[in-house]
Structure 1
Amino acid sequence: MSVSWAARAEPYAAVIHTDDVDRFYRLYDATHGHPSAEQLQRDYLDVGTEGLHELARQRRVTGARIAETLAQRPALYADAKRCLAVLPRVRGRLATAIATLARLHPQSQLPPVTIAVGRGKPVGIGSPLTGVQIGLEALCATEWLNPDVEQRFVTVIAHEYAHTQQAAALVDKEHPTVLEGSLVEGAAEFVAELIAGHASYAYFPALTRGRERAIETAFAADLDKTDLSDWLYNSTPDKPADLGYWVGYRIVKAYYLHASDKRVALSDIFAMTDAHAFLEKSGWQPGIELH
């Protein structure tokens, strides 16, 4: 199943939905922070946007599961209300970033972005088949990514939006290798930087400075492993990691910088399906200097 989106009225315009967030917090406030599972299902999820329904389908979000998380972690939803204030600015900056993407890559499909409230996870998902869905409460709580709330929302959503342009054969691959997974995520980091001005993982420079060659030499030894746990999806609030994102970003950036035609290079990045061929063409090597 995939989310369908209507033809856009403006050539570089994408729809950014925040209606689900408004609906959730109306219910939350009306019930003094204690909506029932039935209320959450009937008055929030069932009447939500198509993007919310897709989030619910993919990540098993139900009224009962939101109610369970609310009971276990009430501060998560109470604290997330502070992030509502940045959403108007986030929407404006994202509209600009997506327009930039469309100008740099005119064949882009521009699916909608849905910012909603879920069960504490995921922070965000993006796919060429289903568009972008963001969990407001989860992203609001992920301060270790970037302490600047507005910047965090803009860059994380730009990262997820990049996934909507990538080849589904790679971005939705069930069991990727370290190299494949890192290139998928690294490409999204690079595109976020290209269209929004910054990558989403703001802590990478401090974490990697002076260790570039050592980190990437270790990465080169693990390229074809299917156990991703040393490189991807292994960050915690106490120990930020995910260094595969950083190495993948550097490989993709090397490819882009070495290309004479940047528009073709961006198309190549999005169309990538053969990770090893892309790596070979990038000119990347452990410790490479990128300017």
Structure 2
Amino acid sequence: MDMRFWTWAVAGLLVLAGPARAAAPEIRIQDVIDFYRVYDAGGGAPSAAALQGYLDHGSDGLRQFVGLRHLSGESLAAAMEKHPRMFADAKTCLDVLPAVKRRLAQALPRLGQLYPPAQFPPITILVGQGNTGGTTSASGVLVGLEALCGASWMDPNPEDRFVHLVAHEYVHVQQPAARTEPEHPTLLFPTLIEGGAEFLAELISGDVGYVRLKNWAKGREKEIEIQFAADQDKTDLKAWLYNGVGTDERPGDLAYWVGYRIAKAYYVHAKDKRQAIARILTINADTAKAFLADSGWAPGMSLPEKVPLPE
């Protein structure tokens, strides 16, 4: 499985135009229902032709996903043949979707309350070929049920996992810098993009997407962050980002957690919390260094477990 499925820059990502509103976005699950109708009719091993029918008759979100991930009936059939258990197990996550929808209906409107320019494109939950848990496109936020359902390493609770991952991706929708990828970004910039999404996801939904990192890093803050500070200007990201699940000794994507801590430090120290949220969302490659300096972050610094929403 390609574990780089929470990318901070996705080809073709567009922030949708239109006025912000503090209303819950539409959450579409018909593609999942259609997939498992085809799955059941094929006895758990539908033909490539049947799967192509699922793709051809899918939602706008699914069609966007097909283009982003070069998905076809044949490639989906091959993925199902290679990982049958993943698709069988993913069916169990259908049970948590009603609760996920209710919780997101409460969490996501907070973005509009905190950041008036926020956009609210739909969320499409679909079934892909196991390589994308969450991403964004011109059709909004796209969630791969089969990949996210199997990502228990992120958070062992599937309901929480869906809620916090979607919140993370929804923050990316609001970040202009998430639409572009510098040719050779230094480690600091994508760290702040991902960490900002983690921090604001926690602020609106109650927790981060990468609960595993938060738990693993307790007591190791200074050691990890001294290493990060030494590497922040490097263009080789593989030790910190998009490097898979990792191991018990060093989990992957540790920069998400460091960036979360930097964003939280900035918010804690800011007098105007709403202005702080706006700045976190509008970081770019040119302003990353200044943001770090203004955050007051230092390796191993003490930060509160949770911070309140601004008044």
TM-score normalised by structure 1 residue count: 0.93
The answer on whether the counterparts of 2:188 and 2:232 sit within 8 Å (CA) in structure 1 is yes
One-letter amino acid of the structure 1 residue matched with residue 258 of structure 2? V
* Corresponding letter in the other structure for 1:221: A
Distance between the aligned counterparts of 1:121 and 1:201, measured in 2?
17
Q: Structure 1 266/66 Cα, relative in aligned 2: closer, same or farther at 3 Å?
A: same
**What letter corresponds to residue 70 of structure 1 in structure 2?**
M
Question: Which residue of structure 2 aligns with residue 23 of structure 1?
Answer: 34
C-alpha contact (below 8 Å) 1:3/1:50 kept by paired residues? no
How many residue pairs get matched?
A: 289
SS at match of 1:125: strand
Q: How far did residue 5 of structure 1 move?
A: 6.2
**Could you tell me how far 1:243 is from its partner in structure 2?**
1.0
Quote the sequence identity (%). Answer: 50
For residues 3-56 of structure 1, the C-alpha deviation after alignment (integer angstroms, 9 at most, x for no partner) is 7969699742311111110110011111111211121112x1111111111111
- 1:65 maps onto 2:75 in alignment: yes
Establish whether residue 165 from structure 1 lines up as the match of residue 178 from structure 2.
no
Unaligned runs of 5+ in 2: 1-11, 305-311
Q: Which amino acid aligns with 2:203?
A: L
| Contact 2:13-2:179 at 8 Å conserved across structures | no
Moved more, 13-22 or 75-84: 13-22
| 1:257 Cα offset (Å) | 0.9
Structure 1: unaligned runs, 5 residues or longer:
none
- The 5-angstrom pairing of residues 47-86 of structure 1 reads 47-86=57-96
Q: 2:245–2:253: 8 Å Cα contact kept in structure 1? A: no
Do 1:5 and 1:112's aligned partners in 2 also have CA atoms closer than 8 Å? no
CA distance in 1, matches of 2:293, 2:21: 39
How big is the shift at 1:176? 2.4
CA-atom RMSD in angstroms? 2.1
Kindly report which structure 2 residues correspond to 1:98-137, keeping only aligned pairs within 5 A, or say none: 98-126=108-136, 131-137=140-146
Paired letter, 2:30: D
Counterpart mapping for 1:258-273 below 5 A: 258-273=269-284
Change (3 A) 1:169 1:188: closer
Task: From the superposition, tell whether residues 150 and 281 of structure 1 become closer, same or farther in structure 2 (CA, over 3 Å).
Answer: same
State how far apart, in whole Å, the 2-side matches of 1:169 and 1:245 are: 14
Check if 1:287 corresponds to 2:300.
yes
Give the superposition deviation at 1:57: 1.0
Per-residue deviation, 1:236: 2.1
Residues 197-276 of structure 1 correspond to what in structure 2 (within 5 A)?
197-236=206-245, 238-239=247-248, 240-273=251-284, 274-276=287-289
- CA shift at 1:87, angstroms? 0.4
Deviations 1:235-264 (A, max 9, x none): 327543311001000000111111111111
Cα distance in 2 for residues equivalent to 1:19 and 1:3: 23
Query: Counterpart in 1 of 2:8?
Result: none
Structure 1 contact 8–14 (Cα < 8 Å) conserved: no
